[in-house]
A and B are shown apart, each in its own frame.
Chain A
Amino acid sequence: MKSGLGFVAAVNLIIWAGITLYLFVLDRRLKKLEQRSGMDVHYEK
């Protein structure tokens, strides 16, 4: 294994952590918005 690969892996893991954190936060905010507007799971046309 080359020495630089550990650094590249760490950068990729940080990017991935940022993406997942953003998606989890977005998920929570959407859930709150859905609850506030009383939206059901099944969308009505």
Chain B
Amino acid sequence: MIYKILLTIWMNLIIAAVFLYVEPAVGFPGEVSRILFFHVPMAWVATLAFLLSMIASSVYLITRKVNADFLAQSSAELGFLFCFLATVTGSIFAKATWGSFWNWDPRQTSIVMLLMIYGAYFVLRSAVPDYEKRRVFAGVYSILAFCTVPFLIFVVPRITTSLHPEDTLNPANPGMDIKTLIFFLGSLCAYTGLFVWMLRLKVRMLRIMDREQRAFRSNF
């Protein structure tokens, strides 16, 4: 409980600081650069969630422990949610800097492909009625889906010309002053904490649902 209260206070401090204390970045119109404190952590959490989903799926396929499948499913769902939010915040940034919400920039195109790939994961899960088969198929698909993540997030936007700003966390060229960097890293930690909190809730929810379904099936 204490970590949840601390996270709530921490997130409030971060929000207040990024709007009222940190200066906007040079080279961007108006105050739009402040979206960095929300957009990048969302994209980071999405990547982390997809990685965790892949690891949990591998664990499930090796051990066949149902808990690992709950973790894989929950993580993929939250990854999809944060990926979608990163797309929305990215579009707001695109409107302010590039003139329109959608430009088919390589970064925007690759994130949509990622959303479609993980959207198919949920379609697959809901299409297989048998629980055991569903978990195996979803586990294999999750591993295959994650193979595309490094390619779509790190490779595609770099092999073509992109409008998307880079080097925000490059140690050789950080592109942000120390005050901005501190609150940026603070925001990354806060979003990671939020992800962990939501993940634990979702896994608990799946456990209860699974238990109820087992009880229901055993009655027939």
**Chain A interface residues (CB < 8 Å from chain B):** 1-2, 5-6, 8-9, 12-13, 16, 20, 23-24, 26-27, 30, 33-34, 37, 39, 43, 45
Contact = CB atoms under 8 A, between A and B. Distances in A.
B208 A12 contact: no
Contacts of A6: 19-20
Chain B interface size, as a band, is 20 to 34
Given A16-B12, A27-B201, A45-B65, A37 B31 contact: no
B208 A45 contact: no
B201 A9 contact: no
B15 interface: yes
Interface of B: 4, 8, 11-12, 15-16, 19-20, 31, 65-67, 197-198, 201, 204-205, 207-208, 211-212
B4 A8 contact: no
Contact of A23 (B66, B201, B207, B211): B201
A24 B201 CA distance: 10
B208 A30 contact: yes
Contacts of B198: 23
Contacts of A2: 31
